[in-house]
């Protein structure tokens, strides 16, 4: 317990993936070159997923795989976080039900936001940092990035203890090199020529950042087992490997075939997925590019085996659903404005007085458990719900978010307003007790059944279009899919 | 145990508008139409009304809050008027207020009026409403059909039924109500349907199809209640009396405790036991001649037959398919067409059910008339299966 490094890690990709061929079929009339990239699937956030919800799922996976470890601080890294001025990281911390004393902050401003957070975390060997990253990149229809990007989240818990990968050091260089940018005005990325960036950016920045690090750590390029060199176009990674003198065969999986490039989250995502299959004693060099280069060096330990037993399967093995309808993909991203009828006019104004007062219930999914009769219940109430008890003020906090459950009853409602009909919801019975009438997610029509196993997911609950706000609550998802299956 | 209201209050007059898409009528017109019928039926003058209860559900449209619209429409002489609202049991709650006032001796003659103007939303559905500042944060954005459809999934699972078999029984519920509605000139939906049409209808909320759902209607209904001595002076013996009025709201058990199986309405069972005791009904099969129950959806009527003790648990689908609740069956249900076809203007529905039982008990139900009905039972279910208000009223005659 004297080391310092990665204590745990988690990743999450949405259940929906769109076939790139479907994008090419829809858009190659405008951009014939898309056909050449039309391989595999890319992950995309459902209408009710965003960087916060993706980050939460990745973080839950990391926390679950590190029982007994408490994060002293949480950093959320994203360039597409939903709120410009309301701490997004605070929502994630609340969803994890972290103590109020946790130091919660966020990083943004470029594609290195997550790797830089890890470097900062590595500077203090006394504190455990949960670095969470997620991106849902806005893309223009028919753009190369629409094919390349994939929405996902990743989390790495870095701190003192018995690491699964020892932290060997980090280094960073900056360069105000505009290979792409995005502003509030552009809305989407404006991308410059890749060949220029490959030759003047990646191939020069990677050695500048990594060489001093490797030298100080006494690690040669040949000793690097896994090189994580993210770029939106995965074919550019070869140039980075070549510049570093690392064999191309050591390049980590780009995740292109089943996920896509996850923006800020991608270096961490590739790291997490590498750790799920690496062997003890291997050296991992993680690079993060974006107006410079971050480099972090890790060496896996024997503890990796325990992590691999606890951790979920690689996201490559996720049971995903392939979307073939490009318009549904666009709708999920808010790129087309579907007429949902008058039911969509409901005023979803949030009473923030109540939302704050009930924050642990709503964002943390914390209910109560009666000390007298032991009945778990949601929401926590003054009197126990058990008809044979009804004791007053006897409930201790009881978190439902990480408990398994089954469907007691359900419907697929084609009348209710949702941006992805039908709205599936029903009565959910929790293991250990408790019944909650709640919305479900990730069930395609015909998938739900009484008795089906469920796991909880934080999702966007309602959108207040009048005031530009949205709020979150938990949904019940099929238990077999994703990080908590 | 209190002795209850049995035979302490008589119904001396009732009125009910034609239900439906009443583009022609504002709430003032509907209320006036129902009231004038009741007043003429009772043979009373307007200023003999000593107190009134006004049931309207939706604040979002209709007449807004408060009771004064009723006082204003009828130009009542400043007698007490109270607005009541209790979800789909609103009409019955208006009646309960009037009945309790007369039973208590607070007044001799009271009016219960229910009215709803649902067809002003601009679309073919109910207005969207808030569930409250806390519940909006976590309750699903359910629709009524979706919330009641839960009964179908849970019922089929509990009894090991194939959904196709359950849907056939549900379809019979709707088929029967369309047959009955076709006989009723005040009903909203008067078209007969075949079983095939019902079974092949588009799905609204699995397993409910379009024809498993009741009508969304405009309408008003009212009752004038009085002390039995007054009823005797007005119509002689043979008047209709209230045998029981019971209400059972959920207390959160269905929503939050695993003891509820999702396949029945807990509150109806509680209210039924109390109502049968209050009315002196020891054998519902023998004493209840007809029922008007809250058939907002076909599956609701199906489980209610069990909740009221008219079918054994698990036996309702078979009883329904055997025609037990058809117009010519042992205990007809919704002989006026029910919510399904008479329509469901929420605040008026409980009083509309009472209206049909009143007509049957007084022998004025025309082509729908049953031979010698003894007791009629009206049941409302306000809310959704996991959290609701069940109201049960039993009516009979004083002779």
Distance CA A463, CA A346 (A): 10
Q: Are A318 and A12 in contact (CB under 8 A)?
A: no
Of the candidates A382, A366, A378, the residue with the CA atom closest to the CA atom of residue A458: A366
Q: Which residues contact B137 (CB under 8 A, 6 or more apart)?
A: A350, A354, A355, A358, A362, A461, A471, A473
Q: pTM of the entire structure? A: 0.95
Of B123, B137, B205, the CB nearest to A354: B137
B145 in contact with A, Cβ within 8 Å: yes
- Give, in order, the Cα–Cα distances in Å from A173 to each of A131, A260, A264: 20, 26, 17
B383 in contact with A, Cβ within 8 Å: no
3-state secondary structure chain B: CCCCCCCCCEEEEEEECCCECCCCCCHHHHHHHHHHHHHHHHCCCHHHCCEEEEECCCCCCCCCCCCHHHHHHHCCCCCCEEEECECECHHHHHHHHHHHHHHCCCCCEEEEEEEEECCCCCCCCCCCCCCCCCHHHCCCCCCHHHHHHHHHHHHHHHHCCCHHHHHHHHHHHHHHHHHHHCCCCCCCCCCCCCHHHHHCCCEEECCEEHHHECCCCEEEEEEEEECHHHHHHHHCCCCEEEEEEEEEECCCHHHHCCCCCCCCCHHHHHHHHHHHHHHCCCCHHHHEEEEECCCCEHHHHHHHHHHCCCCCCCCHHHHHHCCCCCCCCCCCECCCCHHHHCCCCHHHHHHHHHHHHHHHHCCCCHHHCCCCCCEEEEEEEEEECCEEEEEEEEEEECC
Chain-chain contact of A427 with B257 (C-beta, under 8 angstroms): no
Q: How confident is the model at residue A153 (pLDDT cuts 50, 70, 90)?
A: very high
Tokens standing for A329? 């993909």
Chain-chain contact of A358 with B139 (C-beta, under 8 angstroms): no
Of the candidates A291, A325, A271, A268, the residue with the CA atom closest to the CA atom of residue A54: A268
**Segment A30-56 mean pLDDT:** 96
Of B143, B154, B259, the CB nearest to A416: B143
| Segment A439-442 long-range contacts (CB within 8 Å, at least 24 positions apart) | A439/A473, A439/A475, A439/A476, A439/B140, A439/B141, A440/A407, A440/A410, A440/A475, A440/A476, A440/A477, A441/A46, A441/A48, A441/A475, A441/A476, A441/A477, A442/A15, A442/A16, A442/A46, A442/A321, A442/A477, A442/A478, A442/A481, A442/A482
Strand partners, A226: A284
Chain-chain contact of A427 with B150 (C-beta, under 8 angstroms): yes
Q: Tokens 């196709």 identify what position?
A: B164
pLDDT in tens, A266-305: 999 999 999 999 999 999 999 999 999 999 999 999 999 9
Of B125, B139, B208, the CB nearest to A437: B139
pLDDT in tens, A78-132: 999 999 999 999 999 999 999 999 999 999 999 999 999 999 999 999 999 999 9
Query: pLDDT > 90: what percent of chain A?
Result: 96
Query: pLDDT > 70: what percent of chain A?
Result: 99
**Segment A467-477 mean pLDDT:** 97
Q: Are A455 and A401 in contact (CB under 8 A)?
A: no
B133 in contact with A, Cβ within 8 Å: yes
> Is the bond leading into B207 cis (omega within 30 degrees of zero)?
yes
Strand partners, A432: none
Q: Is B344 a catalytic residue?
A: yes
pLDDT of A483 higher than 80: no
Q: Which residues contact A396 (CB under 8 A, 6 or more apart)?
A: A368, A369, A371
Exposed, middle or buried by CB within 10 Å (0-12, 13-18, 19+), for A123?
Answer: exposed
Supply the pLDDT for residue B123. Answer: 84
Chain A positions touching B139 (Cβ under 8 A) are: 437
Supply the pLDDT for residue B171. Answer: 98
Q: Are B228 and B398 in contact (CB under 8 A)?
A: yes
Strand partners, A228: A286
- Give, in order, the Cα–Cα distances in Å from B384 to each of A311, B262, B390: 41, 11, 10
Chain-chain contact of A342 with B121 (C-beta, under 8 angstroms): yes
* Cβ neighbours around A437 below 10 Å, total: 25
Burial B117-132 (b: 16+ CB within 10 A, else e): bbbebeeebbbbeeee
Supply the pLDDT for residue B308. Answer: 98
As a whole number of Å, the end-to-end CA separation of chain B is 26
> Is the bond leading into A474 cis (omega within 30 degrees of zero)?
no
**Distance, CA of A116 to chain centre:** 17
Angle at CA of residue B381, ends B240 and B274, nearest 5°? 60
B261 in contact with A, Cβ within 8 Å: yes
Supply the pLDDT for residue A484. Answer: 40
Count contacts between A and B (CB, < 8 Å).
143
Chain A positions touching B152 (Cβ under 8 A) are: 411
Of the candidates B73, B11, B66, B68, the residue with the CA atom closest to the CA atom of residue B36: B73
Q: Active-site residue among B16, B88, B214, B222?
A: B88
pLDDT of A449 higher than 90: yes
Which residues of chain B from 96 to 125 reach within 8 Å of chain A, CB to CB? Answer: 121-123, 125
Supply the pLDDT for residue A482. Answer: 42
Strand partners, A454: A405, A478
Supply the pLDDT for residue B59. Answer: 78
Distance CA A23, CA A104 (A): 38
- Residuewise pLDDT in 10s, chain B (399 residues): 688 999 999 999 999 999 999 999 999 999 999 999 999 999 999 999 999 999 999 977 788 889 999 999 999 999 999 999 999 999 999 999 999 999 999 999 999 999 999 998 888 888 777 899 999 999 999 999 999 999 999 999 999 999 999 999 999 999 999 999 999 999 999 999 999 999 999 999 999 999 999 989 999 999 999 999 999 999 889 999 999 999 999 999 999 999 999 999 999 999 999 999 999 999 999 999 999 999 999 999 999 999 999 999 999 999 999 999 999 999 999 999 999 999 999 999 999 999 999 999 999 999 999 999 999 999 999 999 999 999 999 999 998
Q: Is B88 a catalytic residue?
A: yes
Of the candidates B372, B379, B377, the residue with the CA atom closest to the CA atom of residue B394: B377
Min CA distance, A345 vs chain B (Å)?
8
Of the candidates A280, A224, A232, A210, the residue with the CA atom closest to the CA atom of residue A252: A224
Of A379, A411, A415, the CB nearest to B153: A411
Nearest residue on chain A to B264, judged by CA atoms?
A409
Chain-chain contact of B137 with A411 (C-beta, under 8 angstroms): no
Q: Are A207 and A240 in contact (CB under 8 A)?
A: no
Which of B141, B260, B261 to mutate against chain A (most A CBs within 10 Å)? B141
**Distance, CA of A139 to chain centre:** 18
As a whole number of Å, the end-to-end CA separation of chain A is 29
Of A342, A351, A361, the CB nearest to B122: A342
Of the candidates A474, A479, A478, the residue with the CA atom closest to the CA atom of residue A96: A474
* Cβ neighbours around A190 below 10 Å, total: 12
Chain B positions touching A451 (Cβ under 8 A) are: 157
Distance CA A99, CA A101 (A): 5
Distance CA B222, CA B112 (A): 5
């Amino acid at each position: 317990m004297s080391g310092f490094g990665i204590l745990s890690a988690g990743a999450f990709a949405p259940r929906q993936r769109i076939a790139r061929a479907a994008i090419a079929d829809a858009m190659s009339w405008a951009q014939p070159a898309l056909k050449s990239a039309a391989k595999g699937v890319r992950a995309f956030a459902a209408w009710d997923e965003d960087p916060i919800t993706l980050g939460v799922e990745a973080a839950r996976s990391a926390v679950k795989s590190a029982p007994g470890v408490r994060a002293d601080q949480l950093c959320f890294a994203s360039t597409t976080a939903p709120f410009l001025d309301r701490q997004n990281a605070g929502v994630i911390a609340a969803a994890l039900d972290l103590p109020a004393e946790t130091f919660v902050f966020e990083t943004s401003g470029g594609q290195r936001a997550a790797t830089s957070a890890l470097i900062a975390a590595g500077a203090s060997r006394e504190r455990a940092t949960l670095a969470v990253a997620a991106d849902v990149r806005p893309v223009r229809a028919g753009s190369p990035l629409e094919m390349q990007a994939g929405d996902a989240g990743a989390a790495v818990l870095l701190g003192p203890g018995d690491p699964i990968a020892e932290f060997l050091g980090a280094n960073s260089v900056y360069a105000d090199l505009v290979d792409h940018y995005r502003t509030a005005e552009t809305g989407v990325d404006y991308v410059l020529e890749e060949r220029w960036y490959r030759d003047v950016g990646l191939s020069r920045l990677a050695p500048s950042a990594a060489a001093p690090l490797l030298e100080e750590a006494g690690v040669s390029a040949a000793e690097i087992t896994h090189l994580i060199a993210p770029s939106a176009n995965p074919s550019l990674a070869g140039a980075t490997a070549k510049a570093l003198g690392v064999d191309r065969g050591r390049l980590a999986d780009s995740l292109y075939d089943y996920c896509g490039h996850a923006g800020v989250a991608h270096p961490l995502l590739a790291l997490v997925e590498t750790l799920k299959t690496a062997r003890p004693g291997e050296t991992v060099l993680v690079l993060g590019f974006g107006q410079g280069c971050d480099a972090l060096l890790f060496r896996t330990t024997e503890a990796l085996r325990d992590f691999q037993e606890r951790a979920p399967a690689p996201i490559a093995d996720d049971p995903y659903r392939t979307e073939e309808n490009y318009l549904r993909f666009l709708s999920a991203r808010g790129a087309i404005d579907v007429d949902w009828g008058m039911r969509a006019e409901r005023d979803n104004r949030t009473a923030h007085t109540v939302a704050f007062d009930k924050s642990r219930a709503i964002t943390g999914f914390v209910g109560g458990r009666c000390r007298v009769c032991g009945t778990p219940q949601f929401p926590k109430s003054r009197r126990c719900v058990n008809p044979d008890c009804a004791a007053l003020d006897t409930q201790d906090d009881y978190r439902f978010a990480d408990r398994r459950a089954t469907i007691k009853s359900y419907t697929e409602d084609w009348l209710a307003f949702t941006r992805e009909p039908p709205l599936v919801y029903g009565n959910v019975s929790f293991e250990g007790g408790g019944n909650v009438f709640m919305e479900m997610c990730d069930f395609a029509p015909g998938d739900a059944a009484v008795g089906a196993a469920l796991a909880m997911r934080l999702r966007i609950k309602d959108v207040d279009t009048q005031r530009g706000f949205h709020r979150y609550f938990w949904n019940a998802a099929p238990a077999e899919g994703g990080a908590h299956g | 145990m209190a002795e209850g209201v049995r035979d302490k209050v008589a119904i001396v007059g009732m009125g009910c508008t034609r239900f439906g898409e009443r583009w022609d009528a504002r709430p003032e017109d509907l209320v006036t139409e129902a009231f004038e019928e009741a007043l003429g039926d009772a043979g009373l003058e307007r200023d003999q009304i000593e107190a009134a209860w006004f049931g309207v559900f939706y604040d979002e449209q209709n007449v807004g809050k408060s009771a004064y619209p009723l006082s204003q429409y009828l130009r009542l002489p400043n007698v007490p008027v109270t607005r009541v609202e209790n979800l789909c049991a609103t009409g019955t709650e208006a009646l309960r207020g009037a009945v309790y006032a007369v039973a208590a001796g607070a007044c001799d003659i009271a009016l219960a009026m229910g009215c709803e103007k649902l067809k002003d939303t601009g679309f073919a559905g109910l207005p969207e409403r808030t569930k409250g500042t806390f519940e909006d944060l976590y309750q699903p954005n359910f629709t009524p059909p979706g919330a009641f459809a839960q009964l179908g999934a849970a019922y089929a699972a509990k009894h090991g039924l194939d959904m196709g078999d359950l849907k056939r029984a549900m379809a019979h519920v709707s088929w029967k109500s369309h047959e009955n509605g076709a006989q009723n000139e005040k009903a909203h939906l008067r078209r007969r349907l075949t079983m095939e049409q019902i079974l092949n209808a588009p799905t609204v909320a699995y397993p409910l199809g379009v024809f498993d759902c009741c009508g969304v209607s405009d309408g008003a209904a009212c009752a004038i209640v009085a002390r039995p001595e007054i009823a005797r002076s007005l119509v002689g013996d043979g008047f209709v009396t209230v045998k029981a009025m019971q209400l059972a709201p959920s207390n959160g058990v269905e929503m939050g405790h695993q003891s509820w199986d999702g396949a029945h309405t807990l509150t109806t069972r509680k209210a039924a036991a109390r109502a049968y005791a209050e009315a002196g009904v020891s054998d519902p099969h023998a004493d209840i001649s007809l029922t008007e129950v809250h058939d907002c959806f076909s599956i609701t009527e199906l489980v209610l037959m069990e909740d009221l003790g008219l079918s054994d648990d698990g036996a309702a689908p078979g009883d329904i398919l055997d025609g037990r609740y058809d117009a010519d069956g042992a205990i007809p249900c919704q002989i006026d067409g029910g919510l399904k076809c008479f329509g469901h203007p929420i605040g008026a529905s409980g009083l509309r059910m009472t209206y049909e039982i009143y007509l049957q008990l007084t022998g004025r139900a025309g082509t729908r008339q049953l031979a010698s009905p003894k007791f009629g039972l009206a049941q409302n279910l306000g809310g959704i299966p996991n959290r609701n208000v069940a109201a049960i009223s039993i009516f009979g005659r004083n002779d």
